[in-house]
Amino acid sequence: MNQRLKYIRMAPAILLWSLPFAFLLVFYFQPLLANFRMAWQATTSEVLASISLKVITQPLFFTIWQAILSTLLTIIVGFPPAYLLAKYRFVGKSFIRLLTTIPFIMPTVVVAAGFNALLGPKGWFNLLLQTFFSLDKPPIQIINTLGAILLAHVFYNSTVFIRVVGGAWSQLDPKIEFAARTLGASPLRVWQKITFPLLKPALLSAILLIFLFNFTSFAVILLLGGPKFSTLEVEIYIQALHMLNLPVAGLLSAIQLLFTLVLTILYTRLIKTKTITLTPRDPEEVAKPIKGWKQRSFLVGTMSYLIILFVAPLFSLVLRSFLLTDFSRNLDGSTGNRFSLVYYQELFLNRRESLFYVPPIDAILNSLYFGLITVGIALFLGFLAANVISSRSRWGKLLDPILMLPLGTSAVSLGLGFILVFNTPPLDVRSFPLLVPIAHSLVAMPFVVRILQPVIASVPRGLKYSAMVLGASPWRTFWQVEFPILFRAIISAALFAFTISLGEFGATTFLARPEQPTIPIAIYRYLSQPGGLNYGQAMAMSTILMIVCALSIILIERLKLPNIKEF
Amino acid sequence: MLSVKNLHKEYENQPLLRGVSFDVHQGETICLLGRSGSGKSTILRIIAGIEVPDSGDVYCDNQNLKDIPVHKRKFGFMFQDYALFPHKNVFENIAFGLKMQNLPVDLVDEKVNSVLTKVNMQEFRHRRVADLSGGEQQRVALARALAPEPRLLMLDEPLGALDRNLREQLMDELRLLLHESNIPAIYVTHDQEEAFTIGDRLALLNEGIIIQNASPEDVYKTPKNAWVAKFIGLSNLLEGVIQSTQPLIVKTRIGDFSINTKLPQNAKLGDSIMLLLRPDALSMTDSNLNQFQAQVLDDIFLGNQWRVKLRMSDLEFSFLVDEPISIGSIIKISIDPNQINLLQDEK
């Protein structure tokens, strides 16, 4: 009897707690399972016999090949700044820190557009060279080459390396290295015997994470690699949406998912074993001031290439969005390049009478609408999930790793799964409007939980209990005690979810209806169409998206939460 | 053996060391004593080669160490929080320095075992260092520093992270070990009790210079100035003016004191000076010299003596006496003229 009463009283809590599980089950596992089912059908049916195996092996090998190359390059680029940030104090350190957060939530489409604005055939650098040397063709031909892909991947992932490895390095007590030195170890042997072994877990997890990100890269390959290059992600997209060959897409997706699953499991394993107990350090010895010309030139050199790598593409984007080129000939007959707001004004006009053409402003409104819904869903479910995890119950231990799975899952596979599962009304990709924000929420939830969970766990239980003892109902306890403490974390999480939704491209390509594009989809459409006006509008729209994301980053940094270092 | 000459070092534009010089002789343990932040550890780091002084030199066996890198100095260093290698076990930690000398495996094994025996940690050979208690870690750190038989051992607050009981126990062990090993040592601490127990010689560091460098007994009997006296726990200090030199009489707020000890060099009639009333200076017997009235504020039983806190005029003093005195009473006391030190001011 008593037992029964207990369950009845706990029923609302159980119901709330089960929501994140249910959400994941329906909107994450079900679609992915559908991909596997489709893959299974493909292997057993005639489909496989009808296609050349090359459709699968070529993208697979290229995916692995570019991921290895990108990862190696990222390590080379990321190593000096990681060392610099961990070991030295210098003017501009916090600026560099802020710089390294930019790529974290800068949408792939924006970055791709940025590199295009910098080095593309219509990029300002090529325009400048052409004007300067009176050339007919753009001299720099990097877009649609492997080089462009690698460059964008380095842009994205070197910050992961800097943050993960630099973070671990700054946690390393320099006294341990000193001790080794006084015991007769040369600097080289200190590195071999002490520093490297101690950094190895962080290095490995950074490399795995970077490899995973490169492996599942989609927009960068699609926008910067051009038609010549196809990774598994791109091939899934092509097979599903262009060739309408769902079985092959499913098969590719299954391969992709298996790979990412293994990588994710390896990564979470590593994260767990990483902890080496370190004694508290004397802050004055950890970061040293820069001294001597060697260190100074190292600092200047590293800072310069970091600034160029991170700032140049984004700066180019802004520059190019105001730089009116051949389009001007059509309008007023004048030639040459000049600065103008035309591309921005064009965003608000509907020039074409085409039925499928959507005015750019609509894409912006769509994105905002989806973004707000994503914030709602991700915050609500993320908050519940964070509470479940903080409860340290069996369910929490189960949910914690499961919740992180979407992080490593390819967005394209998720999109494909949605198409396969949700094809009957009311839950139909073609009509149900919430599937886009639901997919975005899946991507955003791991971040939301990672931000909220530590803060929730840090709220002393006594606080809640004393409020209840003082006569506050659970509802009032939440609003008057917990909520004010969690407020900053909630804002931070909301911003994160919002920016993720604004920038999400992979899943959205599958789910957004043609007449309801989001900003990234619109940018992609503009970029893939010829003409100066389209290009300019892509630049203008990317700039707007970039500024919104940059503002979010700055706000999140201002809120100073220990958030994005580890996930 | 080791000679430190005129070290200067600024830290963030504040002078930290302003001309530190001292010697360490073979087989001797010197304690660098000073408040935290006084630059003691910096001196050790300079000697080890981890930090570079702005000016000044360190000589070892008459060789200037300026251009000798840390790992070739053959000095042992024990850090306050031990800095044990977290990814290596006890044996590997201790063997590290020996392996750096490229010694054959069996010799390494032998030496590690012998040093483990010395610190009484044989059965911990294969433990992970993270699983050791603070005291055990301390022993491993000491063993690690001793194993390569360094020319000089430096210990930076080696007992600082331990609780009191353990500290006292390890203090005695450390003292024995240091004397047995005959390795010259520099021992940095802010704890005067530790310094008195361990040091053959004390070097007291304040405001970037060494104020006094003498045996513990000398420091205790004749502290160089009021700062030293206070630092080693002698706090019955009193300002005065030299009234007469023969006989030596000093005028203070409490009254005139006749004094039987030496006047510091350079002090002359009319100079202001510090009086240090030693803990044993109090006597209750009627004597004509240095008689005063005092109120008993407190009387604390210490085991074989009592510590009595007295108020004289508006000042408080404490003395050691052999018999209890009732708290609150007003008594007549006299101060032994042989138990008063005259100290120069802190300046």
Out of A183, A197, A278, name the one closest to residue B100 (CB): A183
Residue A202 is assigned to a structural domain of this protein: yes
The domain that contains A92 carries what CATH number?
Answer: 1.10.3720.10
B272 and B173, same domain (yes or no):
no
Q: Give the model confidence (pLDDT) of A235-275 as tens digits.
A: 999 888 888 888 888 888 999 889 888 888 888 777 766 55
pLDDT class for A330, splitting at 50, 70, 90?
Answer: very low
| Residue A210, pLDDT score | 92
Cβ within 8 Å, pair B83-A173: yes
Mutation target to probe the B interface, by most B beta carbons within 10 A, among A175, A181, A182 is A182
pLDDT class for A95, splitting at 50, 70, 90?
Answer: confident
Has residue B205 got a pLDDT over 90? Answer: yes
Out of A175, A186, A276, name the one closest to residue B83 (CB): A175
> Distance (Å, rounded) from C-alpha B87 to C-alpha A150?
35
B168 and B116, same domain (yes or no):
yes
The secondary structure of A198-239 as a DSSP string is HHHHHHHHHHHHHHHHHHT--HHIIIIIGGG---HHHHHHII
The domain containing residue B114 runs over which residues? 2-230
Residue with the two structure tokens 């005028």: B251
Which residues on B lie below 8 Å from A180 (Cβ)?
Answer: 85, 96
CA A374, A380, A381, A385 torsion-angle sign: positive
| Residue A528, pLDDT score | 82
B7 and B127, same domain (yes or no):
yes
Which residues on A lie below 8 Å from B185 (Cβ)?
Answer: none
| Residue A39, pLDDT score | 86
Has residue B263 got a pLDDT over 90? Answer: no
B56 and B85, same domain (yes or no):
yes
| Residue A354, pLDDT score | 52
B70 and B83, same domain (yes or no):
yes
The secondary structure of A428-450 as a DSSP string is BTTT-TTHHHHHHHHHHHHHHHH
Which residues on B lie below 8 Å from A276 (Cβ)?
Answer: 86-87, 130
Out of A179, A186, A276, name the one closest to residue B87 (CB): A276
Cβ within 8 Å, pair B85-A180: yes
Residue A300 is assigned to a structural domain of this protein: yes
Which residues on B lie below 8 Å from A202 (Cβ)?
Answer: none
**Three-state secondary structure string covering chain B:** CEEEEEEEEEECCEEEEEEEEEEECCCCEEEEECCCCCCHHHHHHHHHCCCCCCEEEEEECCEECCCCCHHHCCEEEECCCCCCCCCCEHHHHHHHHHHHCCCCHHHHHHHHHHHHHHCCCHHHCCCEHHHCCHHHHHHHHHHHHHCCCCCEEEEECCCCCCCHHHHHHHHHHHHHHHHHHCCCEEEEECCHHHHHHHCCEEEEEECCEEEEEECHHHHHHCCCEHHHHHHCCCCCEEEEEEEEECCEEEEECCCEEECCCCCCCCCCCCCEEEEEECCCCEECCCCCCCEEEEEEEEEEECCCCEEEEEEECCEEEEEEECCCCCCCCEEEEEECHHHEEEEECCC
| Residue A531, pLDDT score | 75
Out of B87, B97, B101, name the one closest to residue A198 (CB): B87
**Contact (Cβ atoms closer than 8 angstroms) between residue B211 and residue B205:** yes
B226 and B236, same domain (yes or no):
no
Q: Give the model confidence (pLDDT) of B89-107 as tens digits.
A: 999 999 999 999 999 999 9
Looking at the complex, report in whole angstroms how far the Cα of residue B23 sits from the nearest Cα belonging to chain A.
20
pLDDT class for B13, splitting at 50, 70, 90?
Answer: confident
The domain that contains B83 carries what CATH number?
Answer: 3.40.50.300
Show the beta-strand stretches assigned E in A438-563.
Answer: none
Out of A175, A178, A185, name the one closest to residue B100 (CB): A185
Q: Give the model confidence (pLDDT) of A387-444 as tens digits.
A: 888 877 777 777 887 887 888 788 899 999 998 888 877 777 777 878 899 999 999 9
| Residue A273, pLDDT score | 65
CA distances, A81 to each of A91, A160, A288 (Å): 14, 11, 15
- DSSP H stretches of helix in A335-421: 342-346, 360-390, 394-408, 411-421
Q: What residues contact A372, with CB distance under 8 A and at least 6 apart?
A: A498
Closest residue by Cα to residue A42 from A252, A256, A261: A252
Q: Give the model confidence (pLDDT) of B158-203 as tens digits.
A: 888 788 888 888 888 888 888 888 899 999 999 888 999 899 999 9
B63 and B204, same domain (yes or no):
yes
Interface predicted TM-score of the whole assembly (ipTM), two decimals: 0.84
CA A6, A11, A12, A18 torsion-angle sign: positive
3-class secondary structure, A289: strand
Has residue A226 got a pLDDT over 70? Answer: yes
B162 and B238, same domain (yes or no):
no
Of all helices (H) and strands (E), which one includes residue A89? Answer: strand A88-89
Of all residues in chain B, the one with the smallest CA distance to A278 is: B86
Residue A238 is assigned to a structural domain of this protein: yes
| Residue A357, pLDDT score | 66
Has residue A350 got a pLDDT over 50? Answer: yes
Q: Give the mean pLDDT of A491-499.
A: 91
Residue A3 is assigned to a structural domain of this protein: no
Tally of domains in chain A? 1
Residue A38 is assigned to a structural domain of this protein: yes
Residue A7 is assigned to a structural domain of this protein: no
Q: Give the mean pLDDT of A521-527.
A: 88
Has residue B204 got a pLDDT over 90? Answer: yes
For A156, list phi and psi in degrees, rounded to 5: -70, -50
**What is the value of pTM for the model shown?**
0.82
Has residue A76 got a pLDDT over 80? Answer: yes
pLDDT class for B285, splitting at 50, 70, 90?
Answer: confident
pLDDT class for A563, splitting at 50, 70, 90?
Answer: very low
Tally of domains in chain B? 2
> Distance (Å, rounded) from C-alpha A414 to C-alpha A423?
14
B36 and B126, same domain (yes or no):
yes
Out of A178, A276, A278, name the one closest to residue B50 (CB): A178
Has residue A562 got a pLDDT over 60? Answer: no
> Distance (Å, rounded) from C-alpha A399 to C-alpha B316?
66
B110 and B216, same domain (yes or no):
yes
Looking at the complex, report in whole angstroms how far the Cα of residue A183 sits from the nearest Cα belonging to chain B.
5
Which residues on B lie below 8 Å from A277 (Cβ)?
Answer: 86, 130
Residues of chain A with pLDDT > 90, as a percent, come to: 24
Instruction: Please report how many Cα atoms fall inside a 13 Å half-sphere around the Cα of residue A156, on the Cβ side.
Output: 31
Looking at the complex, report in whole angstroms how far the Cα of residue B49 sits from the nearest Cα belonging to chain A.
9
The domain containing residue A495 runs over which residues? 17-559
A193 at interface of B, judged by CB pairs closer than 8 A: yes
Cβ within 8 Å, pair A198-B97: no
pLDDT class for A3, splitting at 50, 70, 90?
Answer: low
Residue A85: Cβ-neighbour burial (10 angstroms; 0-12, 13-18, 19+): buried
B54 and B197, same domain (yes or no):
yes
Q: Give the model confidence (pLDDT) of A430-469 as tens digits.
A: 778 788 999 999 999 988 998 888 888 887 777 777 877 8
B148 and B283, same domain (yes or no):
no
| Residue B218, pLDDT score | 92
Average per-residue pLDDT for chain B: 89
| Per-range mean pLDDT, top range of A162-176, A309-323, A434-448, A472-486 | A434-448
Mutation target to probe the B interface, by most B beta carbons within 10 A, among A183, A203, A282 is A183
Residue A431 is assigned to a structural domain of this protein: yes
